[in-house]
Amino acid sequence: MDKLILTRMEFYGYHGVFAEENKLGQRFYVDVELHMPLDKPGRTDNIEDSINYAEAYAVIKEVVEKRTFKLIEALAEQVASSLLETYTSIEEVTVRVIKPHPPFDIHFAGVTVEISRKRAQS
Give the active site residues: 99
Q: Which amino acid is at 117?
A: R
Position 115, amino acid: I
Hey, which residues does 114 pair with through a beta bridge? 96
DSSP, residue by residue, 18-67? SHHHHHH-EEEEEEEEEE---HHHHHH--GGGS--HHHHHHHHHHHHHH-
What distance lies between CA 90 and its chain's CA centroid? Answer: 13
